[in-house]
Every structure is written in C-alpha cells, then in structure tokens.
C-alpha cells in the first residue's frame, strides 16, 4: 500500500485515481555487483534502462496510465569440473532482458475504494549458453569442446491485471492486485557445435499468475508502517528449459524442470514530509525485503535479502518531487549455490505534474 501515487517504480492501477494533473515519472537504478565463486571475485557495474510512467486524469476521480519497465534478469554462470580419462569442464550461462509496457485505468469510489484494471505487454529475450569439453586446469580453459549450445528465446504476450485499494480505514489502508496466468509466444533460435546454423522454432509457454497484498498503518508523529507480500506461481509454469537426463547428462531438448513458487516479503517504515511555509520537510524511508527465487542453483534454493534507506525532495510547491534511495542486498550462498552476489544499489526517481487540459 503506497502513499506515492506517481512514483515511477509503482505500477499498480489504483494509484492512477489520485492524480489531478498530467504527470510523468522517470526512475533508474545503478548497481555495483560483487560476484564470488570458487575462482575468485568479479565486479560488475550496471545502469538499468529507465522506468517510465505517464498518467492522465479522467473525469471524476480517475486516471489513465502508460509505462515502460525493463528488467535485466540476474546474470549467472554455473561451472562444474570432474576427472575421467581427461579433465572436463562444464559451463552454463544465462542472461537476458525482459520488459513490460502497462496500459492501466483506475477510479476511486466513495472516497475510500479504489479499483483498477490494466493490460501489460510483456516481451524480451533470454540467452542460455552451454559448453562442455576437455579442460586445461593450468590455463583454466576448455581445449576441446565436446558439446556447445547457444539458445535465444524471444518472448511476447499480454498479461491482464485487476487491483483494488481501501484507504483511510481509521489509520489503516489496504491494497492488492492479481495478474492471472497467461500464454506467451516464444520464438526460438539455437546453434550447436554440430549444426552452427540457427534453427528457428516456436512454442507457447504458460506463464505464472502473480498476486500481491499490502497494508499501511499510520502511526503518531507522522510515521507509518508498511508491509507487502508478493506471490508468483512458478510451479505452474509450462515451457522449455535446459535440463539433465536421468543419468545426469545435459539434455538441451528436455522439458522444463519443475520450479518452485516465488515469494517476496517487504517491510518498511516511513516518516512523511509536511509543508512548512513554502517548503516541505524531508521524508525518511527504511525498508527490508526477502525473496525466495523460483529456481534452484546446484540443486539448492536461491534466496535474496536486502535493506534500503531513502528520502525525497518536493519541488515547485509540491507539483514535482525527487525520490532517491540506497540499498544493499545479497543473493545466493557460496556453500549452497556455488556463487554469492553482493549488490549495492542507488535508485533515483523524479515525477512532475502539469495542467495540460
């Protein structure tokens, strides 16, 4: 349950019912990732494609919204070495970018009930690279490949959304959304060691439903407490994935391994800003989250946790605002997953309103 109706990172349709002017929100994220595995530490720097959101007020207490969100999936590499007649090495690498374009409408009734609906176009591509071959331990390179596989999956599909919010129930506000499962068309291109020419193919994946609920509780001295829970039913996913056969050999033509449901819990405390004369005081936000990912690495569950600290600045008498936060998170475990990522994050969001009509 959010108090920021036009924070660019918040894409629940009921938020649109609160806007009074044409509003544009822009947000971006900078990451510094330290990835540790058995071979050492690699540092990566990245700037995410900006999140964009635009809202238009509608007659009554309503709003129409558009947006663009691009999320680079976590890039990971799994390595396995063993000895037989020769030394062997196996590498699996996964990376990709997925994006969403939401089209939403929200209305408020009886001042307390907010109802929203929308359609989200989801697209993007994921690449998986698989290599196995004879391995030179001294130079740490594969000297002769026995199998190579590169596969690109390009996704496209529409996901509906229904959301609802109840506000000012005494000090309590509640919100929730539901996005049912949908089918995504997937264009496939792959190349192998034996056949380096791309082999076009197409399939349809059943993507999981998503639902979330949140609450906000007002406290004395302008403080408030918030909590959100998000659930994604990846155990119902039907599609294609890199798998192993019963003998433990890599099977690029196999069906997807069963995945687990993904759950995310977020907790936060906020001290809200107030207007004093021509200025606003600075808000203060402190948050914590924990996520159980929907897939496993090295046969073990993958867990992510993080903390955030943020504030904001009101501009133009409250018609515009800048929000910023810094965070630290960890994903995976060296002991359980063979890799651990420590991530420092800076998030920046700006929103401004204009009276166009």
- pLDDT number for residue 4: 41
- pLDDT number for residue 337: 82
Interval 174-231: pLDDT, tens: 999 999 999 999 998 877 666 666 667 888 989 999 999 999 999 998 899 999 999 9
Q: 157-171, 227-241, 295-309 — which one is most confidently predicted on average?
A: 157-171
- pLDDT number for residue 327: 94
Residue 76 near residue 93, CB atoms below 8 Å: yes
pLDDT above 60 for 252: no
- pLDDT number for residue 2: 35
pLDDT band at 253 (very low <50, low <70, confident <90, very high): low
Residue 104 near residue 65, CB atoms below 8 Å: yes
Per-residue pLDDT averaged across 13-19, rounded? 83
Interval 310-353: pLDDT, tens: 998 877 666 778 888 999 999 988 888 888 889 999 988 887 76
Per-residue pLDDT averaged across 226-252, rounded? 75
Closest CA to 286 of 256, 303, 305, 309: 309
**Does residue 250 or residue 295 have the better pLDDT?**
295
Q: What is the DSSP letter of 240?
A: B
- pLDDT number for residue 144: 85
**Does residue 128 or residue 159 have the better pLDDT?**
159
Q: Percentage of the chain with pLDDT > 90?
A: 34
Place of tokens 């994604």: 232
Per-residue pLDDT averaged across 87-103, rounded? 83
**Does residue 249 or residue 112 have the better pLDDT?**
112
Residue 322 near residue 312, CB atoms below 8 Å: yes
Name the CA dihedral angle for 110, 114, 119, 124, rounded to a multiple of 10 degrees: 160
pLDDT band at 19 (very low <50, low <70, confident <90, very high): confident
Expressed in angstroms, the distance from the first to the final Cα of the chain is: 29
- Please, which residues have CB within 8 angstroms of residue 195's CB and are 6 or more apart in sequence? none
pLDDT band at 91 (very low <50, low <70, confident <90, very high): confident
Per-residue pLDDT averaged across 76-89, rounded? 73
**Does residue 23 or residue 228 have the better pLDDT?**
228
Average pLDDT along the chain: 82
Q: What is the DSSP letter of 16?
A: G
**Does residue 29 or residue 113 have the better pLDDT?**
113
pLDDT above 70 for 256: no
Interval 260-281: pLDDT, tens: 999 999 999 999 888 776 677 8
């Amino acid at each position: 349950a959010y108090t920021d109706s036009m924070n660019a990172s918040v894409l629940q349709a009921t938020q649109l019912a609160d806007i009074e002017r044409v509003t544009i929100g822009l947000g971006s994220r900078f990451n510094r990732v330290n990835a540790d595995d058995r071979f050492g530490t690699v540092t990566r720097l990245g700037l995410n494609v900006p999140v964009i959101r635009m809202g238009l007020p509608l007659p009554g207490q309503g709003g129409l919204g558009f947006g663009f969100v691009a999320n680079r999936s976590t890039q990971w590499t799994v390595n396995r070495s063993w000895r037989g007649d020769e030394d062997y090495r196996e590498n699996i690498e996964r990376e990709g970018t997925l994006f969403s374009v939401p089209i939403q409408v929200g209305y408020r009734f009886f001042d307390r009930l907010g109802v929203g609906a929308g359609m989200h176009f989801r697209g993007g591509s994921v690449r998986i690279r698989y290599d196995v071959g004879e391995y030179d331990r001294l130079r740490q390179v594969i000297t002769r490949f026995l199998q190579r596989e590169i596969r690109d999956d390009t996704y496209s599909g529409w996901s509906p959304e229904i959301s609802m919010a109840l506000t000012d129930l005494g000090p309590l506000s509640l919100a929730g959304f539901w996005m049912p499962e949908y089918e995504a068309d997937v264009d496939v291109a792959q190349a192998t060691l034996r056949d380096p020419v791309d082999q076009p193919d197409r399939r349809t994946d059943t993507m999981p439903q998503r639902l979330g609920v949140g609450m906000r509780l007002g406290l004395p001295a302008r403080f408030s407490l918030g909590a959100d829970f998000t659930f994604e039913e990846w155990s119902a996913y039907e599609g294609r994935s890199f798998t192993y056969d019963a003998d433990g050999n890599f099977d690029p033509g196999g069906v997807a391994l069963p995945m687990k449901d993904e759950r995310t819990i977020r907790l936060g405390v906020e001290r809200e800003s107030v207007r004093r004369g021509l200025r606003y005081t600075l808000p203060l936000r402190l948050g914590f989250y924990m996520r159980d990912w929907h897939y496993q690495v090295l046969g073990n569950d993958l867990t992510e946790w993080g903390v955030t600290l943020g504030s904001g600045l009101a501009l133009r008498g409250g018609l515009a605002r800048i929000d910023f936060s810094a965070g630290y998170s960890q994903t995976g475990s060296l002991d359980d997953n063979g890799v651990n990522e420590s991530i420092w994050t800076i998030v920046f969001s700006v929103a401004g309103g204009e009276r166009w009509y």
